[in-house]
A and B are shown apart, each in its own frame.
Chain A
Amino acid sequence: MLSYKTVEEILFKLEPDRERILVIGIGNSARQDDGVGWKFLELIDALGLPLEYREVYQLQIEDASLITGFDKIIFVDSHVDQIKGGYQLEPVFPLEDATWTTHTLSPAGLMHLAEQLFDHTPEAWLLAITGYRWDLGEPMTADAKANLFEAFEFLRVQLG
């Protein structure tokens, strides 16, 4: 079977020997598929991948300071949309967005805050993974797990 790569996947490069890379897993493992971001980090840890990682419930203001210490950021989050292939990689650029509840910053809004306060924004990517159910205390769905493994395998291959 032929496989294809999106433009973003072709442009996405990881060079842990030459750059500091931070993976931020966003979510809540107590809410079914909302936990894929955290589960992604567990896989990084289990396989000992050469990446730094941070588990967050949501992005908050202090993360603007955190990301300035890195060359590349990968935000991993669950997504309610049915993404073809189960996951999607897209670049994140600083954007003054209209996030009204600032207990929860968007990745683009966080980048903008870092740019304004610290005059530095790392290269950033969002790895969105399709989830299906969000109930309290229930296990992750099998379909979300499958998407998670596909997304993780994509990242692992980039590391060689």
Chain B
Amino acid sequence: MGQKIIIDPVTRVEGHGKVTILLDDQHRVEDAFFHIVEFRGFERFVQGRPYWEAPVLVQRLCGICPVSHHLAAAKAIDQIAGLDPKDLTPTATKLRRLLHYGQILQSHALHFFYLASPDLLFGLDAEASKRNVVEVAIANKELARKGIQMRQFGQEIIKALAGKRIHGIMALPGGAHKTLKSEERDAFLLGKGVPSINTIISWLGEVLEFIKGYHETNASWLDYFANYPSGHLGMVNANGAMELYDGPLRAIDAQGKETLHIPATDYVNHFAEEVKPWSYLKFPYLKALGRENGWNRVGPLARMNVSKFITTPLADTERKLFQEYTDGKPNNMTMHTHWARLIEMLHCAEVIRDLLLDDAILGDDLRREGIQRQAGIGVIEAPRGTLIHHYEVDDKGMITRCNLIVSTTHNNEPMNRAVKWVAENVLDNRFEITEQMLNQVEIAIRAYDPCLSCATHALGKMPLYVELQDRRGNIIQTRTRS
């Protein structure tokens, strides 16, 4: 009798998702889905609101990456206010960049040190009770403390610029709300209340040595686990270097052939989104390649793949080592996302240091004004990948349409492929579905750091359970995890 296994929800993931694995009568995997079952309707919520409210309202999408939504919306609203990125003052642009890189640093710190480290430290087959943050802290206090301090550093950057750690207001249409005071800058440079930026850079060098050493002794599963070909999408600068705040979008296929290189604001002409009945999360793809071949990973691994180099020296040295491992070819090894995330953290820290040393961030020339337009598109690289905000307004400046493609939406198909890979390689042809096996499905998903309350616009609480069904929908077995 065919069976359907459901894992619900995925643990240590913001928001809620559900995994269904269909087995045939011989207990072989027939298909696998990572599907989203809640919907918040944020895009409709902002309709009818004044456009200048959008950067504030969208921060309510979730408490994990409010800064990313704030900045993406602000970039879109700049255009409605009649200003392109190049029109903003250097001070405003640099302050926004400082905010953005601080956000990515703290978000990556949380994911690596607390959400992913149980998978890395305890391996694929550790019992479920081992896989939580407290166990990591007990096993490696120094790692856990440094993770917290790196996250605090990024949070304090946000607080200094936006007024508070979550849901602060920094960007305004055409610029920035406030500048940085010299004493605030000195705190980050000299390490008052937080580690200095040079200490953060030094620590990241240590952590990168740790991950490279860890990889050397664990390459057999890190290279193999959830390794599947895909396209990769990310932002680059005019010279092809990694860019996280503003620049063209570039995509490559699994062999490295360029499949897209466009101004980010042209996204609407090149992307389509498919809706599937079993998920509220859409499936974006490149129109030119079609639904089957046009999907892309986004996030740290994708950004490493689409970038020709990194503009900061220490991170670029690490990128070279990372790319040498695959002879310069695209890296499709899902678990290497954690390695790529650390290289990005180092890049962010170097950029933050350079911005802190730039006196322009202390300036007071913060805003420009333009002539109102009818639409605006803001694109940034959020911690989890490419984030698109698109607004249209009427003559009175009221929002008439909003479309958001968040990072986790781009990664929808990649996460489904990862689940299917695990199902085929780990679960296939086994009658007994163990807790360890189910956890491997979750490890594959967690590598993408999905933020599902953001991606699905959902908040809520769902029970954690495993359900087996036959093809006719009859429940064969249920299993609850707590």
Contacts and interface: CB of A to CB of B under 8 A. Distances in A.
- A associates with B: yes
Interface of A: 28, 30-31, 55-58, 60-62, 64-65, 96, 98-105, 109, 112-113, 116-117, 134, 136-137
A56 B166 contact: yes
A118 to B, nearest CB: 8
Contacts of A57: 62-63, 66, 166-167
Nearest to A95: B134
B261 interface: no
B14 A101 contact: yes
B134 A100 contact: no
Given A56-B166, A62-B148, A100 B42 contact: no
Centre residue among A57, A102, A105, A117 by max chain B CB count within 10 A: A102
User: What DSSP secondary structure best describes chain B's contact surface?
Assistant: helix
B141 interface: yes
B482 interface: yes
Contacts of A102: 12, 114-115, 132-133
19 contacts: A28-B60, A56-B165, A57-B63, A57-B166, A57-B167, A61-B110, A61-B114, A99-B132, A100-B11, A100-B12, A102-B12, A102-B132, A109-B134, A112-B134, A116-B138, A117-B144, A117-B145, A136-B60, A137-B45
Contacts of A136: 40-42, 45, 60
Interface string B134-162: 10011001001101110110010000000
Nearest to A137: B45
B430 interface: no
B64 interface: yes
Given A62-B148, A62-B155, 16 more contacts: A28-B60, A28-B63, A57-B66, A60-B110, A60-B151, A62-B151, A65-B152, A102-B133, A103-B110, A109-B133, A109-B134, A116-B134, A116-B138, A117-B141, A136-B41, A136-B60
B13 interface: yes
A43 to B, nearest CB: 18
Given A62-B155, A116-B137, A136-B40, A100 B132 contact: yes
B148 A103 contact: no
B187 interface: no
A137 B42 CA distance: 10
B153 to A, nearest CB: 10
Interface string B90-133: 00000000000000000000100111000000000000010011
Contacts, number: 83
Contacts of B114: 61, 102
Contacts of A98: 129, 132, 482
Contacts of A101: 11-14
Given A57-B63, A102-B115, A136-B45, A113 B110 contact: no
B132 A65 contact: no
B192 interface: no
A101 B57 CA distance: 25
B133 A30 contact: no
Contact of A58 (B60, B63, B113): B63
Interface residues of B, number: 40
A62 to B, nearest CB: 5
Contacts of B11: 100-101
Nearest to A99: B132
B464 interface: yes
Contacts of B141: 116-117
A10 B149 CA distance: 37
Contact of B164 (A55, A103, A105, A109): A55
A31 B459 contact: yes
Contacts of A58: 63
Nearest to A116: B137
Contact of A61 (B148, B164, B166, B459): B148
Nearest to A104: B14
Given A61-B114, A98-B482, A103 B14 contact: yes
Contacts of A105: 133
Contacts of B148: 61-62, 64-65, 117
Contacts of A31: 60, 459
A61 B133 contact: yes
Interface in B2-32: 11-14
B249 to A, nearest CB: 28
Contacts of A103: 12-14, 63-64, 110, 115
Centre residue among A30, A103, A112 by max chain B CB count within 10 A: A103
B37 to A, nearest CB: 16
Given A55-B164, A102-B12, A136-B41, A113 B60 contact: no
A106 to B, nearest CB: 11
Contacts of A61: 110, 113-114, 133, 147-148, 151
Contacts of A28: 60, 63
A58 B155 CA distance: 14
B386 to A, nearest CB: 21
B285 to A, nearest CB: 28
Interface string B50-79: 000000010010111010000000000000
Given A28-B63, A62-B148, A102-B115, A113 B133 contact: yes
Centre residue among A62, A64, A116, A136 by max chain B CB count within 10 A: A62
B218 to A, nearest CB: 23
A22 to B, nearest CB: 14
A56 B64 CA distance: 11
A55 B165 CA distance: 9
Shortest beta-carbon contacts, A-B, top 3: A57-B63, A100-B11, A30-B60
A61 B146 CA distance: 12
